[in-house]
């Protein structure tokens, strides 16, 4: 999917209008503080619908591709990391929380309603597994960049920014986590059916180990 700034603004405005007043004001402030939207957005659609059309949901699935490519002889395309760093509700990044699992801003109201009923897979949660795959992939790029002058810097900046947001949540060891907005501020919260003892949670140990080996900057 490739969206121009005017299309992004139109769809973001429609999505914000569907939210509660408290959430709408919070995300409007985020956009105002971050100066979005000034550039196009490209991302891999979540899947195809029954008619073969792409479903325009920004998602964290490319974290797996980044991890596999970065830990193999394949070339790494760091452009796929951009949606992880663009602030929600344009992209996936939420300060003090991390990249949410999906952003349905560019989809239909039917999709919005579906995610409202199933928050586990939607824009209100961060998945620890996806975060760890992303961080491991970025760490591998920093250690073995194809172009040391460019890729190492880009990967390192993305790594530091995402890791800092996840640590700030205080929930980085969990299977997944969510948030609530109170007093105009976003507050990370546990997800109701999440678990602290889960296979995906243990991948955080690999992240801690490999990032500890990175050279100090």
Tens of pLDDT, residue by residue over 2-17, are: 999 999 999 999 999 9
Contacts of 68 (CB under 8 A, 6+ apart): 74, 137
The DSSP code sequence of 22-84 is: HHHHHHHHHHHHHT--SS-EE---S-B-TTS-B---EESTHHHHHHHHHTSSSPP-GGGGHHH
Average pLDDT estimate for 138-150: 75
Query: Whole-model pTM above 0.75?
Result: yes
Token representation of residue 127: 């998945």
Rounded Cα gap, residues 186 and 181, in angstroms: 4
Q: Give the per-residue pLDDT at 200.
A: 66
Angle among Cα 48, 51, 54 to the nearest 5 degrees reads 30
Rounded Cα gap, residues 143 and 70, in angstroms: 10
**Looking at the chain, how many residues does it have?**
217
Rounded Cα gap, residues 50 and 152, in angstroms: 40
Q: Give the per-residue pLDDT at 83.
A: 96
Q: Give the per-residue pLDDT at 209.
A: 74
- Location of structure tokens 């889960």: 198
| 26, pLDDT greater than 90 | yes
Kind plus residue range of the DSSP H or E element containing 19: none
Kindly report the backbone phi and psi dihedral angles of residue 90, in degrees, each rounded to the nearest multiple of 5, phi listed first: -80, -50
In this structure, which long-range contacts are made by residues 120-125, counting pairs with CB atoms below 8 Å and at least 24 apart in sequence?
120/176, 120/191, 120/193, 123/88, 123/89, 124/100, 124/178, 124/179, 125/100, 125/101, 125/176, 125/177, 125/178, 125/191
Rounded Cα gap, residues 177 and 58, in angstroms: 18
pLDDT digits (tens, 9 = 90+) for 152-211: 888 899 999 999 999 999 998 888 899 999 988 999 999 876 666 666 667 777 777 777
């Amino acid at each position: 999917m490739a969206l121009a700034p005017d299309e992004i603004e139109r769809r973001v405005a429609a999505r914000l209008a569907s939210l509660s007043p408290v959430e709408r004001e919070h995300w409007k402030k985020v956009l105002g503080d971050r100066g979005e939207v000034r550039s196009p957005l490209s991302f891999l659609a979540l899947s195809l619908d029954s008619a073969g059309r792409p479903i325009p949901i920004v998602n964290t699935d490319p974290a797996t591709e980044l991890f596999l490519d970065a830990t193999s002889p394949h070339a790494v395309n760091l452009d796929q990391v951009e949606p992880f760093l663009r602030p929600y509700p344009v992209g996936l990044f939420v300060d003090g929380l991390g990249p949410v699992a999906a952003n349905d801003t560019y989809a239909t109201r039917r999709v919005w309603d579906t995610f409202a009923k199933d928050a586990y897979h939607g824009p209100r949660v961060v998945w620890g597994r996806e975060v760890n795959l992303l961080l491991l992939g970025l760490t591998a790029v920093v250690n073995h960049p194809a172009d040391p002058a460019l890729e190492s810097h880009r990967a390192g900046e993305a790594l530091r920014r995402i890791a800092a947001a996840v640590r700030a949540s205080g929930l980085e060891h969990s299977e997944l986590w969510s948030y609530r907005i109170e007093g105009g501020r976003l507050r990370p919260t546990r997800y109701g059916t999440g678990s602290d003892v889960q296979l995906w949670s243990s991948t955080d140990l690999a992240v801690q180990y490999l990032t500890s080996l990175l050279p100090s900057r």
